[in-house]
Amino acid sequence: MRSWIKFALTGVALVLASCGGGGGSGGDSKLAYTISLRAAKTQLPINIANQPAALGANAPFTTTLYVDAREGGSAIQGGKDIFACNVTQGLDSGSLYYLDGDPAHEKDGVPLAYRSITLGANSGGASFHFHSKNQAGVARVTCTVTNPRDLQVSSASVDIVVGASTGKPASVLGVTQAPAYLGTKNNTNLVRNNVGIQAFIMDDANQPIPGSTAAANLQVSILPLGSAADGARLISGAQSGSVLQIKTIGGIGQISLSSGSNIGPIILQYVTDRFDNDVTNGIQDPVTSLHLVPVVSGIPNSPLAYKDLTTISVPNGRSYIRGLIADGGVAPYSWSYTGTLPKGLALDASGLLVGTVKDNPGNYQVQLIVTDANGSSVATNVTITVVGALVEPIVFNITGCTGDVNTPCVLPGVSLGSSYAYAFSASGGDSVAGYTWTFAGLPAWLTSANAGSNGLITSTAATPVGTYLFFVTVKSGAESVTRQVSITVTP
């Protein structure tokens, strides 16, 4: 009797083993494999500074992914290259990393990026990492495991959101095709008199702005500054002239520039509208930049020389634009300076002297340095004279009022039927000229007393209930500022 019981128990143990109990061999089990994949963080910021992949609290652009495989309810056995993982969507937004300290996964101590990796299993699982790039989007990471018994492949995926694009223009930048200059019209030195130009429109997160399918979202103009602008024109498809409005593709607008008969700098202005990414219906919130393109008569044999003024007059508190002029040498030219420019004035490498000076009047001594394509340089001492008293910008004295034209400044409210009075005030501007005020769109129940001489609005009975928007403009000397304001009438 004891021998029969012993044999029966042994048979039960054999049956359990054949069913995969206790996580037996994958080759012996008839249970299916399952796989799971999760990310510690499923949203990452855009990595516009190209920070390297790393771990820990000071590595905000990297997340850890955990992959796990099961045979029934138990972990699969370990093994080499059990898991295969890759980025199946959004590779421009990020890459995979091992970050395991293995020298084979690094170069000069810097972790290497992969679009696909393989991982061994430890207790049925493994971990790896995803690191964001500078492109917003949704990246999908997929991992697979193969059951060695029936070669059935199981997979799992996780989506990682990298940043977000606002869709609102924040910057625009122009770039000229090489060699970054053009020759005068009909020049005899075989210097091409037409050059391609691209303008890049980016949002707050440095992401390309999508072009409008209905209307142009970029306006390009030749500023009438200097003789080189005479006869020059912009070309884009069927459009030709000194001002063009074009659609961008992937945030890039393509135009070409043809020269006139005179040498010197041509200054282009780019404008896009942050309000609605459309320049055809009026530009309500402009985002602008300037771009200088030099025009030469050829590749001269004469020495490089500075050909502009040695005394430059700049008005205080006013926008100023000037393209510096050089001659001889080999274009294109590069500009720099030593000394101190007046506050608010800047010089870029193309020779564009631009800004709004807000500094004490007087003379400022600088040395302008122009360098040609051969490396020859010429330095010239120049006096920049700031003319006019320092004028501070006009600021509305309303609590919480910002410079955003799309956000109304909130005035104190009033109850229905009550009298109301509010006196606007401002700071800055021309202290001698004082302030004058004008109003547009005042609700019918409000009036402006002695319009122009002060900023007082009054009412004997506020009605009806609601929130009212109107515009207020204050002027001081040559400066003026307009703000939208709101008043709420409550029951």
Asked if residues 299 and 191 have their Cβ atoms less than 8 Å apart, the reply is yes
Q: Residue 398: its pLDDT value, please?
A: 85
Say how far residue 145 (Cα) sits from the centre of its chain.
41
Residues 6+ apart with CB under 8 A from 352: 265, 267, 290, 291, 292, 321, 322, 323, 324
For residues 254 and 374, give the distance between their C-alpha atoms in angstroms, rounded to a whole number. 30
Q: In this structure, how many other beta carbons lie within 10 angstroms of the beta carbon of residue 186?
A: 8
Structural domain tally of the chain?
A: 4
The answer as to whether 14 is a domain residue is no
Are both 382 and 396 inside the same structural domain? no
Q: What is the pLDDT of residue 452?
A: 62
For residues 290 and 416, membership in a common domain is answered with no
pTM: 0.67
The DSSP output letter for 53 is: P
Assigned domain for 406 exists: yes
Residue 247 sits in a domain of what CATH number? Answer: 2.60.40.10
Same-domain check for residues 152 and 196 = no
Same domain for 221 and 182: yes
Q: Which two tokens stand for residue 453?
A: 């001489």
CA dist 30 and 13 (Å) reads: 17
Question: What is the reported pLDDT for 1?
Answer: 42
Same domain, 362 and 236: no
Residue 29: predicted pLDDT: 53
58 and 119 fall within a common domain: yes
Q: Could you give the 3-state DSSP secondary structure of residue 37?
A: strand
Same domain, 240 and 340: no
Q: From CA 73, how far away is CA 387, in angstroms rounded?
A: 83
Please enumerate in sequence order all residues whose Cβ is within 8 A of that of 99, keeping only pairs 6 or more positions apart, or say none.
Answer: 53, 54, 55, 62, 105, 111, 128, 129
1 falls within a domain = no
User: What confidence score (pLDDT) does residue 211 get?
Assistant: 65
- Among 387, 421, 448, the domain-final residue is 387
Whether 319 and 217 map to the same domain: the answer is: no
Range of the domain at 453: 392-490
Residue 321 buriedness (CB in 10 A; 0-12 / 13-18 / 19+): middle
What pLDDT is attached to residue 16?
29
Q: Single out the residue in 276, 296, 316 at which a domain terminates.
A: 296
184 and 203 fall within a common domain: yes
Residue 13 lies in a domain: no
Domain-embedded: residue 64: yes
Boundary-marking domain end, from 105, 130, 162: 162
Ranges of residues in the chain whose predicted pLDDT is under 50: 1-27
Plot region of 26 (φ>0 → left; ψ -120 to 50 → alpha; else → beta): alpha
Peptide bond into 208 cis (omega under 30): no
